[in-house]
Amino acid sequence: MSTASLAKSDYETPNRSWYKRNEISVTPWLFLAPAILFFAAYVIIPIFQSFEISLFAWDGLGAREYIGTENYVELWDDPAFYTSLKNNVIWLILYLLAIPAGLFIALFLNQTVMGIRLYKSLFFFPFVISQVVVGLVFTWFYDPTFGLLNTIIGWVGLGPINVLGDPTYVTYGIIAAGLWPQTAYCMILYLTGLNAVDPEQIEAARLDGAKGWRMLWYVIVPQLKPATFIAFVVTIVGALRSFDLISVMTNGGPFGESRVLSFYMFEVALSEYGFRMGYGAAIAVVLFFIMLFFIAYFLYSMYQDERGR
Amino acid sequence: MFPTPIQKSPRSWQITYQSFLPVALIMWLLPLLAVALFSVKPEGDFSGGNYWSLPSSFGGFENYGRVFFESDMPRYLLNSLLITVPTAIGAVALSCMAGFALGIYKFKLNLWVFFLFVAGNFVPFQILMVPVRDLTLDMGLYNTKTGLVLFHIAFQSGFCTLFMRNFIKGLPFALIEAARVEGIAEWRIFIYIVLPLMKPAIAALSVLIFTFIWNDYFWAIVLTQGVESQPVTAGITSFNAQFRAAYHLMSAGAIVAALPPVAMFFLMQKHFIAGLTLGAVK
């Protein structure tokens, strides 16, 4: 025993505590603990709980009844589910228009003239406003009796169209409202990206005779790749999170034609139409897997980036 | 057009550009300008059917006065503030620590933990809705501001950690090594060396989280109901029910509800944009 303690005192003074000896390996976990705890309780664990709940019939209050995959079987034959899914696809595709639109506005505003900073801020304005207010603003904009849209197309002898009351137009009308703040967001990403474009490369390309579209596509857009990636991520996430606008503008109507999965889930699980938590959870699981496909891609891209450092 | 600087283009194009700018801006903000116009029109204009004429008299004081003194709007605004500020403080505090751990230390699970935060940040809200509502009910926090704040802190810590970790990775590591050689304790390194360098990131995140949370609607209607705890995004629905078809008041209400994040943006513009675009440009 005495030899052992002697050996120890050779490399360490006895008053160094366990914490002191393991400081470098323990500290990160101490610092991570609160965030991980919160994140696990409110985000990670609930994902798995939702998977579980989707296998039950449950009204949120009484006893749960295990019904296996019945919720998913019902979903398979639910026309409202397919309407929502179809609308989700339309949202995803059309929402991506925010990226070229944002780039276009950014190119337009990327000049140095008097007051351009204020112009840039004001163009960015719609993104700062809550989606609820954007929804209200566009509901009035589309209003068939006094809305600005119908007033304007009335001048050229068209209309009136009740955009939000017509099953064929309603989803497009809401997406247009959503594109407004989203385009502003993409614009600001590109404006920042354009600041970092290398002027020497542009000069070199100009000497080589590149101009117009070719200059844009082959010289400028490749240099904006990081901005495009972020714009893509936030636009996809935004499209799949579309809930506020639908809830405020149409509440899913007319005849449920403007529902998307996120809204339909809420309607099934937590609205006057019922408290079917199990069925709602099943819809959420489907939505989760659609998102997971994109999350995997985002993480893969980030991983490549990390390794490149 | 870009990349040709406007100063080098012909005089005629310069004039066209300069005069087109305000036109483009008005077109871009047209729906909003319409609401702003509505909010200062007196009631008589609407009953007379003069929706789009200039206001026959300035009704702004009366309209906004009624929003503030005859509705629950001030209460909703206060609720929003009491939800937003603690969330911003909490989420930023948690993520400063988590970002420090992930940005400075090399350990086996580092990238896994980091990706867990990133992935969680992207999940659809609906997959969390039922369990989070349950958890909040079980803790007795349903329909309280605290319940909403706790969830927001947890969820936002995903994005904030991503942000903070990348920021800390960009700091010179030599500083930390030097401190370690001096024998300074790790937690002191965090407080006295890293934290002061994180000020710009903290400012950017706080402004961003303030805006995100102020504008949240989904969780507000899932976790709260009624005037005692609902934030303004959810409250505006009841406000509109109270003033149904009174467009001048609903417009004024919408503008009041939208204003705080807008003010925040204009006051803290530099931080705001730095926050939004971090990572887009190094």
Q: Is residue A255 part of a domain?
A: yes
Whether residue B278 has pLDDT greater than 70: no
Q: Is residue A114 part of a domain?
A: yes
Segment A187-209 shows an average pLDDT of 87
Cα–Cα distance, A210 to A216 (Å, whole number): 9
Residue A152 belongs to what domain range?
Answer: 78-308
What's the alpha-carbon Rg for chain A, to the nearest Å? 27
Cα–Cα distance, B21 to A309 (Å, whole number): 41
Residue B258 belongs to what domain range?
Answer: 71-277
| Chain A residues within 8 A of B257 when measuring between CB atoms | 130, 132-133
Segment B55-80 shows an average pLDDT of 88
For residue B274, the distance in angstroms to the closest alpha carbon of chain A comes to: 9
| Chain B residues within 8 A of A36 when measuring between CB atoms | 98, 113
CB neighbours of residue A92 within 10 Å: 17
% of chain A residues with pLDDT over 90: 53
The tokens for A241 are: 């999170």
For residue A1, the distance in angstroms to the closest alpha carbon of chain B comes to: 31
Whether residue A6 has pLDDT greater than 60: no
For residue B102, the distance in angstroms to the closest alpha carbon of chain A comes to: 7
**Length, in residues, of chain B:** 282
ipTM for the assembly: 0.90
Whether residue B65 has pLDDT greater than 60: yes
Q: Do A39 and B30 touch (CB under 8 A)?
A: no
Q: Is residue B1 part of a domain?
A: no
| Chain A residues within 8 A of B217 when measuring between CB atoms | 130-132, 243-244, 247-248
pLDDT reported for residue B2: 61
pLDDT reported for residue A115: 84
| From A70-79, A194-203, A293-302, the region with the lowest mean pLDDT | A194-203
Structural domains counted in chain A: 1
pLDDT reported for residue A13: 57
Segment B225-252 shows an average pLDDT of 87
pLDDT reported for residue B279: 47
Q: Which of A42, A131, A270 sits opposite B154 (nearest CB)?
A: A42
% of chain B residues with pLDDT over 70: 96
Cα–Cα distance, B112 to B114 (Å, whole number): 5
Q: Do B100 and A111 touch (CB under 8 A)?
A: no
Output A156 or B132, whichever has higher pLDDT: B132
Whether residue A254 has pLDDT greater than 80: yes
Mutating which of B126, B152, B155, B224 best tests the A interface, going by the most A Cβ atoms within 10 A? B126
Q: Is residue A151 part of a domain?
A: yes
Give residue A58's Cα distance to chain centre: 29
* Pair (B155, B232) in one structural domain: yes
Whether residue A201 has pLDDT greater than 90: no
pLDDT reported for residue B273: 80
Condensed to tens digits (0 to 9), the pLDDT of residues A224-251 reads 988 899 899 999 999 999 999 999 999 9
* Pair (B41, B109) in one structural domain: no
Segment B150-166 shows an average pLDDT of 93
Segment A269-289 shows an average pLDDT of 90
* Pair (B173, B265) in one structural domain: yes
Type of residue numbered B186: E
Sign of CA dihedral A250, A254, A255, A260: negative
A223 in reach of chain B (CB within 8 A): no
* Pair (B27, B150) in one structural domain: no
Q: Is residue A260 part of a domain?
A: yes
For residue B192, the distance in angstroms to the closest alpha carbon of chain A comes to: 15
Residue A15: pLDDT band with limits 50, 70, 90: low
A222 in reach of chain B (CB within 8 A): no
Q: Do A35 and B94 touch (CB under 8 A)?
A: yes
Q: Which of B2, B25, B266 sits opposite A119 (nearest CB)?
A: B25
* Pair (B52, B182) in one structural domain: no
Segment B168-191 shows an average pLDDT of 89
A285 in reach of chain B (CB within 8 A): yes
Q: Is residue A134 part of a domain?
A: yes
Q: Residue A108 belongs to a domain with what CATH number?
A: 1.10.3720.10
Q: Residue B169 belongs to a domain with what CATH number?
A: 1.10.3720.10
Whether residue A7 has pLDDT greater than 70: no
Structural domains counted in chain B: 2
* Pair (B161, B26) in one structural domain: no
Segment A265-285 shows an average pLDDT of 89
A64 in reach of chain B (CB within 8 A): no
Q: Which strand (E) or helix (H) includes residue A109?
A: helix A98-109
CA distances from B206 to A31, A276, B219 (A): 20, 37, 20
Q: Is residue A5 part of a domain?
A: no
Buried b (16+ CB within 10 A) or exposed e, A147-156: bbbbbeeeee
pLDDT reported for residue A307: 80
Output B50 or A255, whichever has higher pLDDT: A255
